[in-house]
Amino acid sequence: MANSNAPSPSVSTDNQTDHTDEQRVIDEITLLLKAEKDAITNKEIILALIGRLEAENDVVQNDILRNALEMIVRVTPDDL
């Protein structure tokens, strides 16, 4: 995500589960972060998702946020 011209992270899954709500949240956070600066990282998206998880009280929305977080973490390489 370091390239400012890179598209927003779109997470594809191998299973047939519909992750529309999760992708919507990821896209929303990506747009908000890009409004602050041109280049964003998956780490920044992860931190934003964690912040929303901590503030959210709705169990359904928490589930969506948790799934979105899992999707981003799954495609983010480990730091070595």
Q: Which two tokens stand for residue 75?
A: 């495609």
Q: Which two tokens stand for residue 27?
A: 């896209």
Tell me whether residue 70 is in a domain: yes
Tell me whether residue 6 is in a domain: no
Task: Give the range of the structural domain holding residue 51, as residue numbers without chain letter.
Answer: 21-75
Mean pLDDT in consecutive groups of 10 residues from the start of the chain, 80 residues: 45 60 97 95 96 97 97 83
Tell me whether residue 64 is in a domain: yes
We report the CATH number of the domain holding residue 70 as 1.20.5.5260
Tell me whether residue 44 is in a domain: yes
Domain tally, the chain? 1
Would you state the pLDDT for residue 2?
Answer: 42
DSSP 6: S
Under 8 Å between Cβ of 76 and 42: yes
Statement: the pTM of the whole predicted model exceeds 0.85: no
As a three-state string, the secondary structure of 9-44 is: CCCCCCCCCCCHHHHHHHHHHHHHHHHHCCCCCHHH
Closest CA to 71 of 23, 18, 1, 7: 23
Would you state the pLDDT for residue 15?
Answer: 47
